[in-house]
Structure 1
Amino acid sequence: MATLDVFHHNVPAESDFGYSQAIRSGELIHVSGQLSLDEAGTFVYAHDFTAQLKQTYANMDKVLDHYTVSRKQVISQTLYGVDLRRNAAATADGNLAYFGDHRPVSTVLGISELTFPGQVIEISCIFDTRLPA
């Protein structure tokens, strides 16, 4: 029987909504939508797309650190953004800064709202640990 390696940031939303931040199943790591939460699990940077994007990727890095994987092992990214047309340049800049020359597949969706008031971005990813770090 296979076992799952589950990761939590240990923030209240995980128990309030009943989810894990990430689950490793075999060679793949599936990461829930990361967002702009601080260490205490408080939503931060309401309505500030660039600051939320930076914090969201910082939270993604915590998941990478837990599983000792690198950004180069991301095979798929899904980004959900509010007012995406206005934030297209910030989305592109943040994505390029985070991934450098690595190019995972990416789906970017413009949506009307997210969970927290003032939340404008959320990102989920899939990692493949068989890829070179």
Structure 2
Amino acid sequence: MSSQVKAFGFGMPWESLYGYSQAVQVGETVYVSGQLSHDRNGDFVGAGDFELQVRTTLENLDLVLRQFGAERSQIVETTVLVRNLRENFEAAARLHADYFGEHRPTSTVMGISDLALPDQLVEIGALVRLDVKP
């Protein structure tokens, strides 16, 4: 039996330019592309402010989850890409823990030298299982 595929995008210009979806559902699994700190118009938010970028990125992750009827507690894995990891790790860890509360998904945090946008300091992707009870 084949699975249905459902894709979601915010309608941002870079989705067409790069040729990707913000998230794709295959069966009971949702693969969420790396989210970043932007508003509904696609304008970057939080240049120079790591914590604001993380909060806005996680808000965008919430918007993606809602498109699939999912909740944070159904996230089973995150991938967190951070520029200047040594400088930003403590804040990244605290904000990640605050976002999830008692829920503990697996997580890979990687320090990287660059991201897609010049002022971008963080990007967060996720793997979601819809068959996990919230």
TM-score by length of 1: 0.97
Q: State the Cα distance separating 1:77 from its structure 2 match.
A: 0.4
Structural mapping, 1:37-56, within 5 Å: 37-56=38-57
- How many residue pairs get matched? 133
**Structure 2 match to 1:88:** 89
Unaligned runs of 5+ in 1: none
Unaligned runs of 5+ in 2: none
- Which has the larger displacement, 10-19 or 98-107? 10-19
| Runs (4+) off by over 3 Å | none
Amino acid at match of 2:18: F
**Given that residues 31 and 124 in structure 1 are in contact (C-alpha distance below 8 angstroms), is that contact kept between their aligned partners in structure 2?**
yes
Identical-pair percentage: 41
Structural mapping, 1:56-71, within 5 Å: 56-71=57-72
Question: Deviation digits for residues 102-132 of structure 1, max 9, x if unmatched?
Answer: 0000000000010101100000000011111
Report the Cα distance in structure 2 between the residues aligned to 1:16 and 1:45, rounded to whole angstroms. 23
Amino acid at match of 1:24: Q
Q: State the Cα distance separating 1:37 from its structure 2 match.
A: 1.1
**Given that residues 13 and 41 in structure 1 are in contact (C-alpha distance below 8 angstroms), is that contact kept between their aligned partners in structure 2?**
no
**Structure 1 match to 2:11:** 10
Give the RMSD, CA atoms, in angstroms: 0.8
TM-score by length of 2: 0.96
